[in-house]
Structure 1
């Protein structure tokens, strides 16, 4: 499966790029690093997982991806609370992560059904 055609990969790669752009001037390097790394791991793990040959390996990577989305959601929430992130932008990203998480669940289910 060509991961680049997956809407979930496209959405998560776009979100990751937005994180890098928005946080580029943040002085709290630890927070910035953690948020951008968890954001980057979402499309990266989709790519790596969907490049695997077995459905079980693909699903394992999608589970890791789902966890990274939850991690990023937490970091965005905290970023809003400490005023690192605009509330409106943070809410938009959290909503995008909810959609991405549902898409990951659907993709994982489709792998189960196809085996």
Structure 2
């Protein structure tokens, strides 16, 4: 296990950041851009996934980190749900929907085993946050 000293070094943090950027770029375009509430909601969920990974990493306990990772995983699911709505309402084309859905599914699938690793780990406190596969 490598030890990371910054949340930016975690693979899941890097993935969440790239996904958030992609959602932001997508929602800057019409017709999505003009649907303010929906646009802001999906952007917030994308940021939430990334922000909760960062905030959990910076917390001082394993249980808090696990909790924030669970929230990040939930945000990833929320984004996928919103992508279905965006596709159904023709704000995005199906290939874009498929691309982002797969990317957020991948993020969720990487968070889940990390949570399992943390749950099994005997390390407590801040040092646990820096471990990743």
TM > 0.5 fold call: yes
**Please, which of 17, 20, 24 is the counterpart of residue 24 of structure 2?**
20
Unaligned runs of 5+ in 2: 123-133
Q: How does 1:73-112 map to 2 (within 5 A)?
A: 73-112=80-119
User: Could you report, residue by residue, the CA deviation over 1:22-56 in whole angstroms, capped at 9, with x for unpaired residues?
Assistant: 11131000110000000111011000001112110
Q: How many residues in Structure 1 have an aligned counterpart in Structure 2?
A: 115
Counterparts of residues 66-77 of structure 1 (less than 5 Å):
66-77=73-84
**Aligned CA-pair RMSD:** 1.0
Deviation of the 1:81 alpha carbon: 0.8
1:63 aligns with 2:70: yes
Give how far 1:86 is off. Answer: 1.7
Q: Considering only CA atoms, is the larger Rg found in Structure 1 or Structure 2?
A: 2
Relative CO higher for 1 or 2, CA cutoff 8 Å, sep ≥ 6? 2
Instruction: Give the structure-1-normalised TM-score.
Output: 0.95
Question: TM (normalized to structure 2)?
Answer: 0.83
Find the partner of 2:42 among 35, 43, 57: 35
- Please state which structure has a larger fraction of its residues in helix: 1
